[in-house]
Structure 1
Amino acid sequence: MEYLDFELPIKELEEQLSKCEVIGKQSDVDVTDTCKQIEKKLIQTKKDIYKNLTAWQKVQLSRHPSRPYTLDYINALCKDTFLELHGDRNVKDDKAMIGGLGKIDNQSFMFIGQQKGYNTKTRQYRNFGMANPEGYRKALRLMRMAEKFGIPIISFVDTPGAYPGIEAEERGQGEAIARNIFEMSRLKVPVIVIVIGEGASGGALGIGVGDRVLMLENTWYSVISPESCSSILWRSWEYKEQAADALKLTATDMKKLQLIDDIIKEPLGGAHFDRETTYKTVKNTILGVYDELKKLSPKDLVEKRMEKYFNMGVYKD
């Protein structure tokens, strides 16, 4: 397990607890009380740290290398029923954007999401979760297929942004994202969007329009990353913490601003500390939301979705 800077007190206590347990096993000394005291202190330290996280610390947690990615959620939810579909039928298959059909219990869903890598090789293969235009066009192709067969859509958002390379711009990156936003707003099937990690810029918006937009507790969603914001405003990345606070990018901030519908609670320490509990919570949330949405007619779905987005940014003095 990798530890972030603010998690070092937890690391120290876990090492102490581990050593205490080893001493108890390898000697006749009774260390039960000592172990219990360390364990109690560890639990309290975790609560103190994770219940008072800054915006920047939540950004760090959302990027934790041990955090589950899109395929982890899909494989855990679908239990070997997932069939990945490839290609945009125009340029190529974008490995940063995945999609396909799968079942949660007995209900079929079309899954869309950005996928990051676990090591240097897979990160390059997945282009660090930054999709090209063909990735967004693949996602749109699959969403249209889902609409054709009346299959609800689940979109997992986890990207540092759409790929900003020259070749991506030449192939119409902006148009591809804009087209997805336009088409997703009119889909006649339920669309559930879940931010599971980073939700940055148009790269997130390109698959982020839905009837319900949810965020895991330790994720962020913003037009720009704290580092990029800092480099633009202060000409340096040193002010990324101030930028994170100012951007109001945490799940709590987004809920308060009515830009998302709900927050999915994570286990203490983050999704990577207890993956099974996280998967179970996400599964129950998806099924609960779908039970609400399936009662609406296609016409009502579109009308309510459009109304929801039209109301964003409206305020009274």
Structure 2
Amino acid sequence: MANSNRKPILLDFEKPLVELESRIDQIRQLANENGVDVSEEIRQLEARANQLRQEIFSSLSPLQRLQLARHPRRPSTLDYIQAMTDEWMELHGDRRGYDDPALVGGVARLGGQPVIILGHQKGRDTKDNVARNFGMAAPGGYRKAMRLMEHANRFSMPILTFIDTPGAWAGVDAEKLGQGEAIAYNLREMFNLDVPIICTVIGEGGSGGALGIGVGEKLLMLEHSVYTVATPEACAAILWKDAGQAPQAAQALKITSKDLKQLGIIDEVVPEPDGGAHSNPLKAAELLKNVLLKSLAELLALTSQQRREMRYQKFRNIGVFAEVKV
């Protein structure tokens, strides 16, 4: 997991809470040094901190949730794998000469069940992010993902995908190597796999880069993650020629887990610890693991034909609406 000893990175809306918690720590330290009993005052301040935390994180705007989804300390795919699984073994390469570090995958056990896990991988700092291409997978990454999913299908292992990318790599070389074809191939083939597929948006789910590993019977979202056809900044630049209109775009795009659950795009919202997943990564992993195990049990009870039909109908129903005349 992320190193908890690093200096915290604060978002603007987190600062009042962190200042209050720092004040509580200072009072507690001074009381201990001087042998003064301030337990009642501490209790009142901690109650206020809890109340403030709930007020802040229950009323976040879509753009603030996007900031949380992009938080540098937010747990990544490899963080969740490390915290949730046993006997993890990463597998490399697309068998066509390329191993994309922006998309990782391998074999593991989750609650004793052998599974294939794959997902986008962002970096922790600038150097790591450059090496991981900021979680934007190249065509070789999606071909590696498909190779692992075919392996899972051959050996009857469920597939878990973790989505966390601003989008697929849009460079010239990516287009030369067939980025669109690689993603389209994954979309088609994932509908035909016999094994259970559970997809989870753990951070930023952007555009076709997210969809390339996002076809499954169940689509989960962490509470403060986002899932969108385009980033609010890109949408604002396209519609208004002004990236400064991103807050308005974020509101209109319905990118939050709550909105997408209401629209029927996702199946379940996975709660995060108070303060977001980055505030307590181990707790976040525990909450996600519980939901994954429950969902796996439900899907393993179905036949492969039922799972394929469930997958198909899920995506056929997206975007269906009825007009009501009044």
Q: Counterpart amino acid of 1:40?
A: A
Which residue is 2:89 aligned to?
83
On the 8 A contact 1:102/1:108 being kept in 2, the answer is yes
Counterpart of 2:315 (choices 286, 292, 309) is 309
Which residue is 2:71 aligned to?
64
How far apart are residue 36 of structure 1 and its match? Answer: 1.9
User: What is the CA–CA distance in structure 2 between the aligned matches of 1:302 and 1:28, rounded to whole Å?
Assistant: 66
TM-score (norm 1): 0.98
Helix, strand or coil at the partner of 2:123: coil
Which residue is 1:198 aligned to?
204
How far apart are residue 261 of structure 1 and its match? Answer: 0.7
The C-alpha deviation readout for 1:130-180, integer Å capped at 9, x for no partner, is 000000000000000100110000000000110110000000001101111
User: What is the CA–CA distance in structure 1 between the aligned matches of 2:270 and 2:89, rounded to whole Å?
Assistant: 26
Which residue is 1:35 aligned to?
42
Which residue is 2:136 aligned to?
130
On the 8 A contact 1:100/1:142 being kept in 2, the answer is yes
Counterpart of 2:274 (choices 251, 264, 268) is 268
User: What is the CA–CA distance in structure 1 between the aligned matches of 2:40 and 2:30, rounded to whole Å?
Assistant: 13
1:1-317 matches, within 5 Å, as: 1-79=8-86, 81-317=87-323
The C-alpha deviation readout for 1:7-36, integer Å capped at 9, x for no partner, is 111021012111101111211333222222
TM-score (norm 2): 0.95
Q: What's the Cα RMSD here?
A: 1.0
On the 8 A contact 2:138/2:179 being kept in 1, the answer is yes
User: What is the CA–CA distance in structure 2 between the aligned matches of 1:51 and 1:97, rounded to whole Å?
Assistant: 32
Helix, strand or coil at the partner of 1:315: coil
How far apart are residue 78 of structure 1 and its match? Answer: 1.1
On the 8 A contact 1:20/1:34 being kept in 2, the answer is no
Moved more, 195-204 or 288-297: 288-297
Helix, strand or coil at the partner of 1:287: helix
How far apart are residue 91 of structure 1 and its match? Answer: 3.1
Helix, strand or coil at the partner of 2:195: coil
Helix, strand or coil at the partner of 1:82: strand
| Number of residue pairs the alignment of both structures matches | 316
On the 8 A contact 2:219/2:267 being kept in 1, the answer is yes
Q: Counterpart amino acid of 1:120?
A: T
How far apart are residue 255 of structure 1 and its match? Answer: 0.8
User: What is the CA–CA distance in structure 2 between the aligned matches of 1:27 and 1:257, rounded to whole Å?
Assistant: 57
How far apart are residue 235 of structure 1 and its match? Answer: 1.6
How far apart are residue 284 of structure 1 and its match? Answer: 1.0
Q: Counterpart amino acid of 1:162?
A: A
User: What is the CA–CA distance in structure 2 between the aligned matches of 1:112 and 1:28, rounded to whole Å?
Assistant: 53
Structure 1 unaligned spans of 5+ = none
What is the identity percentage for the equivalent residue pairs of Structure 1 and Structure 2? 47
On the 8 A contact 2:111/2:293 being kept in 1, the answer is no
User: What is the CA–CA distance in structure 2 between the aligned matches of 1:303 and 1:42, rounded to whole Å?
Assistant: 48
